[in-house]
Amino acid sequence: MAGSNSYVHDIVRGLGMPLLLVAVLAMMMVPLPPLALDVLFTFNIALSVAILLTTVYVNRPLDFAVFPTILLVVTLLRLALNIASTRVVLLNGHTGTSAAGKVIEAFGEFVVGGNYAVGLVIFAILVIINFVVVTKGAGRVSEVSARFTLDAMPGKQMAIDADLNAGIIDQEQAKLRRREIGEEADFYGSMDGSSKFVRGDAIAGILILFINIIGGLIIGTSQHDLSLSSAVHNYTLLTIGDGLVAQVPSLLLSTAVAIIVTRVSRSEDMRAQVFTQLFSDHRTLLVTALVIGALGLIPGMPNFAFLTLAALCGFFAWRLAQRGKPAPEPAETQPKDLDASLPDLSWQDVDPVDLIGLDVGYRLIPLVDRQRNGALVGRIKGVRKKLTEELGFLVSPVHIQDNLDLSPNSYRISLAGVSIGEGEVQVDKDLAINPGQVFGKIDGLETRDPAFGLEAYWIDSTQREEAQMLGYTVVDPATVVATHLSQLLTSNAHELLGHEETQQLLDRLAAGSPKLVEELTPKLLPVSVITRVLQNLLEEGIPVRNIRKIAETLAEHGTRSQEPDTLSAAVRVALGRSIVQNVAGTRPELPVMTLEPELERILNESAQESGNVGLEPNMMERLHESLKERAQAQEIAGEPAVLLVAPAVRPWMSRMMKGIRNLHVLAYNEVPDDKRIQMVAAVGAAGAA
């Protein structure tokens, strides 16, 4: 029974909007009694007030995303009421000013004092305010907001990708933010069209006014034998009342449209935004009080009103100034004992070297101050979480400290006590990064992105939207440092893994596969050899998440060799499918480059005879340049740059060509059998064929 009631309830809720639309359309055709008009006009005014207050108290424009649809329905309701009231006015207007109901009569008699000339003036003023000021301005803002929102979408998408790569957000948060960007574009696009409803409604109100007056005069004098003065009095007051009843909700909705499209997309209602931004500085109210007070002292001015308002402004300025003062710091109850003897030194005074260190200048301290919820602290946690998930082992904590040897805006990233990267950020600015294609230049301090060396500009936070619309990726200083840290730790991941981390991986594997770990170490291989194999994999960008597969391969080949390079090559073959998938995705074909047959034969023979590969420096330089050009061409084409070589040559080629960006060197036996090979070039020392 409960399920049946719920089903019926869902059906009733689903029929609400269709029935409302049908009722609105029916009002245009079916005559309504005056009492029904009173109820519907009152409901229309109440609904418009509720919509206006919703736009004031909603936190973000997207929280009222249904507003364009509501705006259309309410506009149709008001026009339908205009048609219904026009029918009643023209049919029964000869009977008096109460022919169309008490609401229209009240607006015609009480609001304008029964004087239709005054009513016409008030109606004209309302139409001018609504049509010329509010509606026109709201329509222009809607149009500009829609265009700017669409232009800014690529920059916002790249900012989300930057936060995702820096570990600041996870995949679910990235999906949510991308969906919000799409909803924002849809919302402002809909608002651009909906503002035209309000504009058309204002024009319709003017036309309906003249039609009712002219039609009423003709009907009253010709069909009901009214005198011209009686017809003018009755029909004009009824028409003015009808027009005012329609224009008041129309003005309320126009104001609601203007408020919603001029709101800033921030999780804060308009009341909070007004008070926090308009009265954030007590000096604003203080100067206002002085100006109003000076005007109040001028002879002939309304002194009481001016001086009273000046006193109120001065009082609130004093309250704001008192609220902004910092609380006094408590005095120390016990003085420090400066004569206390220093304790003896011990091994506890010898600080170990931190594996990962971040030194900051004194101006960057607020970014890493945990007591002030420094933004960089959370970013670094996100970077550690992201790298831990990607690499397959727990990344060590980052030790953060201030360093007076650095310039105020500088930072230094170190690994095992050795600096691996430095940079400089502006705490009070944002970094606009040129991702490769922008639509104009932004004014700012020119610099380079410390993580990838891209062209960038330090800009004020007020320029953020402008930069995003031009195609720049805009990030805050904490994200800049976190991205640089993530990039450096990723490229030096092999130095983050040591014996302790390897033992932790083996212990976790032993919980599920105890026999495998027992057979592997220490019987076949010591932990030091396993560690070196894992470091070799990480150095070439291969994560060690699949530790079970790695351990099985080492157990299989450990009986024949304990050489880390040989074992690393065997593990690469076992992980070939995941390696190729990380490089080229799930596409059925793998585009590859190869070496010219003669060059590869020479290198292969050299590797088999001497165990090492050597080329003349000039030939090596030409080969490097040829591969670099081909890799850049593949990157521009959106394809992976893969060099396929013989297994004996692969380790040497990988080390020699490590400086080429995005070039992946694979051996023939690392490509899965079901992956089709697509030849794109044969590269030699003299160029590409």
Domain definitions of the chain by residue range: 30-268, 279-321, 352-494, 497-574, 587-689
DSSP β-ladder status, 455-459 and 418-424: unpaired
352-494 maps to CATH 3.40.30.60? yes
* Sign of the CA dihedral running 491, 492, 496, 501: positive
Q: What is the mean pLDDT of residues 234-255?
A: 77
Q: Are 484 and 452 in contact, with CB atoms under 8 Å apart?
A: no
Q: Is 442 helix (H, G, I), strand (E, B) or coil?
A: coil
**Chain length of the chain:** 689
Q: Is 560 helix (H, G, I), strand (E, B) or coil?
A: coil
Q: What is the mean pLDDT of residues 418-435?
A: 92
pLDDT tens-digit series, residues 586-605: 888 899 999 888 888 888 87
The CATH classification number of 587-689 equals 3.40.50.12790
- From the number of C-beta atoms within 10 Å of its C-beta (0-12, 13-18, 19+), residue 461 rates as exposed
pLDDT tens-digit series, residues 92-129: 767 766 666 777 777 766 555 666 677 777 777 777 77
pLDDT tens-digit series, residues 462-480: 898 889 888 899 999 999 9
Q: What is the mean pLDDT of residues 357-381?
A: 86
- Quote the CA–CA distance of 594 and 197 in Å, as a whole number: 64
Q: Dihedral, CA atoms, 153, 157, 163, 167, nearest 10 degrees?
A: 150
Q: Which distant-in-sequence residues (6+ apart) come within 8 Å of 288 by Cβ?
A: 313
pLDDT(323) > 80: no
Say whether the peptide bond before residue 522 is cis (omega within 30 degrees of 0): yes
Q: Is 351 helix (H, G, I), strand (E, B) or coil?
A: coil
Question: What's the pLDDT score for residue 537?
Answer: 94
For the ranges 4-8, 134-138, 249-253, 319-323, the lowest mean pLDDT is seen at: 4-8
Q: Are 166 and 486 in contact, with CB atoms under 8 Å apart?
A: yes
Question: Whole-number mean pLDDT of the chain?
Answer: 80
Q: Which CATH superfamily is domain 497-574 in?
A: FHIPEP family, domain 3 (1.10.8.540)
- From the list 193, 182, 187, 190, the residue with the least C-alpha distance to 153 is 182
